[in-house]
Structure 1
Amino acid sequence: MSPSTIPKFSDLPLDKEGPYLNAWGLYGKDDELGFLNRLTDDVVKEAAKEIQTGTRISLNWPLDAQGDIPFFGRQVFHKHVYQKAPRIVHDDTWTFNTQSSSQWDGLRHFAYQKAERFYNNVTLEQITGPEATNVNGIGAWSEQGIVGRGVLLDYAAWAETQGRTHDAFQKGSLALEDLKKVADWEGVEIKFGDVLIIRSGYMQQYNRKSRDELTSLSKINPPTFFGVEQSDAVLQWIWENFSAVAGDQPSFECWPTEKDYLLHEVLLAGWGCTIGELFDLEKLSKHCKKTGRYSFFVTSEPCNVPGGVASPPNILAIF
């Protein structure tokens, strides 16, 4: 898989009877990997050259980071630690929503809303109907993981040098033009198959909020967040360059959408492009600034849950 072997953006949709910009069937009618097909052995082997010092940085927010006030009405994290008396031994059980902290959105998460179709034309009934299977489950991604070259576009750091400010908890768009300026400012080269990671500054602002402020914000319905703009230009940029996209925002894209479609629809349901959200990028940002390196080896293994919708990323950036 290379830029020369994928259809042009102008060739989309591939299924002419399907919804907007879909690439259904590109990797076969039964494919469940989507854009992860771009992470070939050769791409991963080349990405391994990014490992030069062995420094490892986690991008995982704690599973209980949002406490008892998660956004989007998601369930809170519960941990039960118990002794297995009479022995001096402990077990524990965890109960949580897979999208209440750092997460990869899987291909069962978001459909084309009007067409009611998931990736590769999978129906709602195939996922939650009486004869549902594990089709498009995130467990399919665990065998080889999400492993390759990661690129941090530190918009928050760049914006600070420009004297720009934004409210991460207000609806607003991060323009493609600015993302390209960030890449130029960092001096980072984007290569085909990269895992795109965008730091908007959400975590930084979240950590400065009081409990009362977060409680009030969590009650806004629909919630509002700053994120990547909805545009054909953004979609074409992603189509031509990346194997996965992620950020520190709760929704990756501007929320609610400013167009009549969402990036979630095209990326997840149209292309099988996983979306990472709520990644904790603060330590990564500091290390990139200190070293002047904004590319790195990234390794992530979603949980092996057949038929799962989403998963904690279990992700490390390695320099």
Structure 2
Amino acid sequence: MDMGFPTDAPTPPPTGGPPPPPTGDRNGPAVSREEFDALFARVRTWGRWAPADRGAWNRVTADHVRRATALVRTGTVVPMARPWDTEPGPDNTRPALHYMSDLGDVEAPEPAAHKDFIGADYHGKAVSHLDALSHMAYRGRFYGGGTARDLVGAAGTRFGEVAALGPLVTKGVLLDLPAVLGRTWLEPGQAVHAADIVAAERTHGVTIGEGDAVLLRVGRFLRRRELGAWDPDASCAGLHVDAVPLLAERGIALLGSDGDSDVRPSPVEGLHSPVHTLAIAAMGVPLLDNLDLEELSAAAAGTGRYEFLLLVAPLNIPGGTGSPVNPVAVL
């Protein structure tokens, strides 16, 4: 079936020999849509797994889980979700809701009950959340080639729903780029390239492997606490698309960040979220956005260990394109 993408993928570069030095430059080189489509074809894994709804999470087997549990040494538990943010701001244009639905002041048999309501339009820059495979379509098609127009309606999605993912337990790897580059944080607009990822592996003494979850820290929330909020849709540190083939080659199952993984402004002409597009629509890799990785950064630096047991349990929402989530690392 012709999916509308180039079928001849470029040959991946050789992996032997020393990598180029880390760059950490601003935004990175511009990429045309033709170049992007060739990259999409190169990293695409359509047809590899059934059911396709789980995408790269199919890489994680019982053996992966057992090996991940063996990484627990101190038993330190580190949550990574941001506080539920109900305050409007430049990085929270659709604030979450939280109000009391029962104050326990209505006459009723003891004990008095107190109840509350929460809600969020969570696909944004404020709520820590998981993007399922139905969150992104490219040229009208989801991961695997299904047509988004036919699969998504007012009641939700019939492909790639977050409920199909279930929980994930695997090895997590923290790439702490500010620590690697000798900075407090990466400035908005700063691009992370494949060489930076390799430098982080060597600095931290880790190797990204099949079925791993990669968490990229750029220091967004430390910078926010020090300097105030800004619009991360306009400018945010993150991955350049030229880093994605390395992650595809390693066979990752999950990608997350304290940003949303994409460097902004986008280096790809006419495409606002190219890393989202490659990860979700081409590779079948769900994303974690807006994690607070400061506590994990401190714990990893304190122990000298940048790999850990990771647990991610999205809400069971049939037809949902994602879910608020509180991932947990256990060191």
Question: Please, what TM-score do these two structures have when normalized by structure 2?
Answer: 0.79
Deviation of 1:179 (Å): 1.8
CA shift digits 1:84-128 (9 cap, x unpaired): 42242111111112233111111121111xx21111122222343
Deviation of 1:274 (Å): 0.8
| Aligned position for 2:222 | 204
Question: What are the within-5 Å matches in structure 2 for residues 106-185 of structure 1?
Answer: 106-112=132-138, 115-129=139-153, 133-142=157-166, 145-160=167-182, 166-168=186-188, 171-185=189-203
Q: Distance in 2 between matches of 1:72 and 1:119?
A: 29
Q: Distance in 2 between matches of 1:131 and 1:178?
A: 42
In 2 relative to 1, CA 263–122 (structure 1 residues): closer, same or farther, beyond 3 Å? same
| Aligned position for 1:282 | 294
**Aligned mate of 1:103, from 129, 134, 153:** 129
The 3-state SS of whatever aligns with 1:308 is: coil
| Aligned position for 1:48 | 69
| Aligned position for 2:245 | 236
The 3-state SS of whatever aligns with 2:116 is: strand
Q: Is the 8 A contact 2:155 2:319 kept in 1?
A: no
| Aligned position for 2:261 | 252
Letter in 2 for 1:179: I
The alignment yields a C-alpha RMSD, in angstroms, of: 2.4
| Aligned position for 2:237 | 226
Matched, 1:26 2:41: no
Q: Distance in 1 between matches of 2:46 and 2:301?
A: 40
Report which stretch shifted further, 262-271 or 297-306.
262-271
Letter in 1 for 2:168: I
- Unpaired runs of at least 5, structure 2: 1-8, 13-39
| Aligned position for 2:311 | 299
Q: Is the 8 A contact 1:36 1:244 kept in 2?
A: yes
In 2 relative to 1, CA 191–79 (structure 1 residues): closer, same or farther, beyond 3 Å? same
**Aligned mate of 2:211, from 193, 196, 207:** 193
Q: Distance in 1 between matches of 2:75 and 2:184?
A: 34
Letter in 2 for 1:307: G
Deviation of 1:313 (Å): 2.4
Q: Is the 8 A contact 1:159 1:165 kept in 2?
A: no
Q: Distance in 2 between matches of 1:137 and 1:183?
A: 32
Q: Is the 8 A contact 1:230 1:257 kept in 2?
A: no
Question: Please, what TM-score do these two structures have when normalized by structure 1?
Answer: 0.82
Letter in 2 for 1:50: L
Deviation of 1:11 (Å): 8.6
Matched, 1:270 2:282: yes
| Aligned position for 1:15 | none
Q: Is the 8 A contact 1:20 1:266 kept in 2?
A: no
CA shift digits 1:129-161 (9 cap, x unpaired): 47975321111112xx1210001111112222x
The 3-state SS of whatever aligns with 1:272 is: coil
Letter in 1 for 2:282: G
The 3-state SS of whatever aligns with 1:302 is: coil
Q: Distance in 2 between matches of 1:176 and 1:306?
A: 36
CA shift digits 1:217-260 (9 cap, x unpaired): 33x8x5221111111xx2221112211111111x2111232124
Matched-pair identity in %: 25
Q: Distance in 2 between matches of 1:103 and 1:309?
A: 11
